[in-house]
């Protein structure tokens, strides 16, 4: 089960790493549970054509503003947006998950919402910062259900 993500300060990376560990544990108990294969996109990542379905996890970094009538300028995470926009990649995207911080009010996870609109894919879930274990479990199960639907 493929996940493409970007992480500037490490929260999303931590979430994906812990979800990967959970997927291995679940898979060991029951092979119906898929192991997560993740790919972290970096500033210098070369875009590549995806050949299998994937989920995207994106943290939120916006320049100033309030998310209502200004300040929705994405910064730092554009490499992931460009990666998804590359060739037919968006067609393989099964959905997007947002990472953010509720202190940002209306801008909470706004980048994930914008990806959902731009690429016409569902916004499947969101979590704050590194996410807690219960969110990791719930979101993993949600992704598994979507993954199986797409098979």
Ligand X SMILES: Cc1cc2nc3c(=O)[nH]c(=O)nc-3n(C[C@H](O)[C@H](O)[C@H](O)COP(=O)(O)O)c2cc1C
Residues that bind ligand X (CB under 6 A): 7-13, 59-62, 99-101, 104, 107-110, 129
- In degrees and rounded to multiples of 5, residue 88 shows phi and psi of -100, 15
User: Considering the complex, what minimum distance in angstroms separates the CB of residue 129 from ligand X?
Assistant: 5
Name the residue nearer to ligand X (CB basis): 16 or 50: 16
User: Considering the complex, what minimum distance in angstroms separates the CB of residue 38 from ligand X?
Assistant: 13
Name the residue nearer to ligand X (CB basis): 102 or 148: 102
Name the residue nearer to ligand X (CB basis): 101 or 142: 101
Q: Distances from the Cα of 73 to the Cαs of 54, 70, 100, 122, in angstroms?
A: 25, 8, 15, 21
C-alpha angle with apex 45: 147 to 131, nearest 5 degrees? 50
User: Considering the complex, what minimum distance in angstroms separates the CB of residue 135 from ligand X?
Assistant: 12
User: Considering the complex, what minimum distance in angstroms separates the CB of residue 17 from ligand X?
Assistant: 11
Name the residue nearer to ligand X (CB basis): 27 or 79: 79
Among the listed residues 90, 77, 80, the one whose alpha carbon sits nearest the alpha carbon of residue 119: 90
What are the structure tokens assigned to 32, written together? 């119906």
113/125 Cα distance (integer angstroms): 10
């Amino acid at each position: 089960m493929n996940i493409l993500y970007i992480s500037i300060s490490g929260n999303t990376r931590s979430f994906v790493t812990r979800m990967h560990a959970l997927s291995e544990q679940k898979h060991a108990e029951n092979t119906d549970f898929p192991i997560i294969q993740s790919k972290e996109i970096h500033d210098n990542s070369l875009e590549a054509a995806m050949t299998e379905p994937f989920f995207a996890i994106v943290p939120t970094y916006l320049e100033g503003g309030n998310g209502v009538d200004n300040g929705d300028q994405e910064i730092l995470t554009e490499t992931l947006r460009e990666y998804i926009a590359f060739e037919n990649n968006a067609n393989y995207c099964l959905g997007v998950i947002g990472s953010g911080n509720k202190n940002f009010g209306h801008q909470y996870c706004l980048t994930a919402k914008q990806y959902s609109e731009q690429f016409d894919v569902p916004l499947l879930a969101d979590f704050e910062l590194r996410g807690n274990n219960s969110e990791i479990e719930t979101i993993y199960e949600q992704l598994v259900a979507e993954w199986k639907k797409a098979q």
